[in-house]
Amino acid sequence: MQIYASRVLKQALSRAGIRMEDVDAISYSAGPGLGPCLRVGAVVARSLSSYFSKPLVPVNHAVGHIELGCLLSKASDPVCLLVSGGHTALLCSSMGKWRFFGETLDITVGQLFDQFGRALNFSSPCGPEIEKLANKGKKYIALPYTVKGNDMSFSGLLTSAKRMIGKV
């Protein structure tokens, strides 16, 4: 870990044309995500923060994606539906803070598409192939999903869709 972290840091500073003295704060992904990966990032960030006496700033990975989108699109105070392989959440920004209204209780929409696509023998990412099939469709098929408050559950929808193609 130490060897790679050092190489990545040197490369990032070099590409940015700066030195550590020019860095104002050390940030890291504090979640959501895979535990082992998050721990490595947190250990490296804490070490750098301590050694260089820089403030440590944990960042929500999902919000990081949305913030980048806001930066690029110049959106202010948006309502967002975040859908990716690892996240599905409904949230909005107000006065510089993010409020999560709801998120998945089990599998994300991205996982649902990937698992259903694999059942159809598609390669990942499966979303584009599933969308092509959906665009050819002529009939709406009701599938179950669950909403509890503002949280969502999609595992039942996946099971029903797999049953329809004979994979369960």
- pLDDT at res. 1: 52
For domain 78-168, give the CATH number. 3.30.420.40
- pLDDT at res. 2: 57
Q: Please identify which residue in the block is written with the tokens 């990942």.
A: 124
The boundaries of every CATH 3.30.420.40 domain in the chain are 2-61, 78-168
Q: Which amino acid is at 3?
A: I
Q: Please identify which residue in the block is written with the tokens 């959906």.
A: 134
- The pLDDT averaged over each successive group of 10 residues in the chain (168 residues) is 82 96 95 83 95 95 86 89 80 85 86 90 89 90 83 89 88
- pLDDT at res. 97: 85
Q: Give the predicted TM-score (pTM) of the model.
A: 0.60
Is the CB of residue 84 less than 8 Å from the CB of residue 69? no
Q: Which helix (H) or strand (E) holds 76?
A: none
> What one-character DSSP code corresponds to residue 105?
S
Q: Which CATH architecture best describes the domain 2-61?
A: 2-Layer Sandwich (3.30)
